[in-house]
């Protein structure tokens, strides 16, 4: 990994950490400061890194915001955690936005190959494109879950933060297997965009559909990349965002989403984007981002090592006959009580990792009524 891409964490954070009790997170994390060497990653499972580039969106300077979030994060107390954590500092903005994308992708590829989960602090949300490109070297198809009020599939003339999904869909190599949007608000998206996502058999869940926040857990369990745009959170809870809306998730819902992402055995990168510090009243949004990161780490430390780490033989199997008498197999983990449903048409080795689709007990109940679960149907359409 090229450490020349990085700038160290601001020295102003040193005094903040020194003022905190020895049991606070600031004292438990390996941090890249000006006068310290780049962290040794040999015993690290989680790596925090900022991206000093918002040219794909507002163009605002993000350095101050990255300082604010870290100050709030390092005041918190860790849980009973065993995972090693390092703060690698910030990836510097390149001469062009494409240079920044290259640096982000290069760094993340290196971390992924070391089985280190990157936690990215943006920057504009188009950085998600660079995160996605980092998986090219992994030679696998990728699932993206975006927590966002918009789909971000606008035309090329739109800012990149509002059109990066189009870039992901159209550009080769295309390794995107599934995209899931969580919390979109219909009046912020055109009917053409909604129709396009449906025609691609992607998953989109309106804000009103996920008011029971537990429903998002299977969606996040199936993701490799989780990208959260702060515009998905209501303005009263996260004012530090240029696209903040009166509607959106509550702050505690955002923390639950972060925990579900952390607890997923499949999620291998997590990012929070579009923070604007000078709009942030009383640093409320910085505090919320810090707490979201805390919950992601908490979830990571509680991973059950279910699928894809365990074989199907390790689960209880339930077979249900659908309307056409075709069998649909469900699997329930003895470890966590979580459910999966099986996709039988896996002819391409590239898609074998999608053989089991995370689901909920509700999907099993729906199948018992001889109704085909929607997520199973969409997954089948992409595989046949």
Q: What is the C-alpha separation between 340 and 307, in angstroms, rounded? A: 9
Please report the domains of the chain, with CATH numbers, ordered by start residue.
3-300 (3.40.800.10), 312-383 (no CATH)
Residue 76 is given by DSSP the state: S
* Runs of H (alpha helix) within 140-265: 164-170, 191-199, 217-221, 251-263
What angle (nearest 5°) sits at the alpha carbon of residue 110, between those of residues 182 and 30? 85
Burial class (CB in 10 A: 0-12, 13-18, 19+), 295: buried
CA distance 34 to 306: 40
Q: What is the pLDDT of residue 351?
A: 58
Predicted pLDDT of residue 347: 54
Q: How far is CA 175 from the centre of its chain?
A: 17
At 281, list the tokens. 């009243």
- Distance in angstroms (rounded) separating the CA atoms of residues 269 and 118: 5
pTM, rounded to two decimals: 0.93
Q: How far is CA 322 from CA 361, 367, 378, in A?
A: 16, 7, 16
Strand locations in 217-298 (E): 225-229, 269-273
Q: Give the span between the Cα atoms of 106 and 109, in whole angstroms.
A: 5
Q: Which H or E run contains 14?
A: helix 12-18
* Residue 213, pLDDT score: 94
Is 306 within 8 Å of 336 (Cβ atoms)?
yes
Task: Tell me the pLDDT tens digit for each residue of 198-231.
Answer: 999 999 999 999 989 999 999 999 999 999 999 9
| Tokens read off for 109 | 């590829």
pLDDT score of 138: 87
Q: What is the pLDDT of residue 352?
A: 62
Partners of 356 in the beta sheet?
342
Would you call 92 helix, strand, or coil by DSSP? coil
Q: In what order do the strands lie in the sheet with 315-321?
A: 315-321, 327-333, 339-342, 356-359
**How many CB atoms are located within 10 Å of the residue 58 CB?**
17
Nearest to 126 by CA among 57, 52, 223: 57
What tokens does 326 get? 């075709």
**CB of 53 within 8 A of CB of 94?**
yes
The residues of the chain scoring below 50 in pLDDT are none
Residue with structure tokens 């018992």? Answer: 368
- What pLDDT, on the 0 to 100 scale, is given for residue 4? 86
Rg of the chain taking only CA atoms, in angstroms:
20
Q: Return the pLDDT at 345.
A: 59
**Could you check whether the bond before residue 308 is cis, i.e. omega within 30 degrees of 0?**
yes
């Amino acid at each position: 990994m090229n450490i020349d891409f990085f700038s160290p964490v601001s020295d102003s954070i040193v005094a903040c950490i020194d003022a905190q009790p020895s049991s606070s997170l600031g004292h438990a994390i390996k941090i890249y400061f000006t006068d310290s060497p780049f962290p040794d990653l040999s015993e690290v499972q989680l790596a925090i890194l900022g991206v000093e580039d918002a040219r794909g969106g507002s163009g605002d300077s993000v350095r101050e915001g990255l300082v604010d979030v870290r100050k709030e994060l390092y005041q918190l107390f860790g849980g009973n955690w065993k995972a090693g954590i390092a703060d690698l500092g910030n990836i510097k903005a390149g001469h062009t936005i494409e240079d920044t994308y290259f640096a982000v992708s290069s760094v993340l590829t290196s971390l992924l190959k070391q089985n280190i989960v990157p936690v990215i602090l943006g920057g504009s949300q188009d950085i998600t494109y660079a995160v996605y490109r980092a998986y090219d070297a992994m030679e696998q198809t990728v699932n993206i879950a975006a927590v966002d009020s918009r789909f971000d599939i606008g035309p090329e003339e739109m800012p990149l933060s509002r059109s990066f999904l189009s870039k992901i869909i159209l550009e080769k190599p295309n390794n995107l297997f599934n995209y899931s949007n969580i919390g979109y608000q219909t009046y912020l998206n055109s009917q053409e965009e909604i129709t396009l996502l449906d025609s691609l058999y992607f998953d989109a869940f309106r804000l009103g559909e996920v008011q029971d926040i537990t429903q998002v857990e299977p969606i996040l369990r199936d993701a490799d990349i989780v990208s959260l745009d702060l515009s998905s959170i209501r303005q009263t809870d996260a004012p530090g965002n240029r696209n903040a809306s009166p509607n959106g998730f509550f702050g505690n819902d955002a923390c639950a989403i972060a925990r579900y992402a952390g607890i997923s055995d499949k999620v291998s990168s997590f990012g929070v984007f579009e923070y604007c510090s000078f709009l942030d009243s009383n640093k409320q949004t910085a505090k919320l981002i810090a707490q979201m990161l805390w919950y992601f780490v908490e979830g990571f430390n509680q991973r059950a090592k279910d699928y894809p780490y365990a074989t199907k033989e390790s689960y209880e199997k339930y077979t249900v006959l659908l309307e056409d008498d075709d069998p649909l197999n469900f699997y329930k983990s003895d470890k966590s009580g979580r459910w999966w449903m099986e996709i039988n048409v896996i002819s391409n080795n590239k898609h074998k990792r999608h053989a089991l689709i995370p689901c909920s007990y509700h999907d099993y109940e729906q199948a018992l009524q001889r109704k085909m679960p929607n997520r199973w149907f969409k997954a089948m359409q992409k595989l046949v």
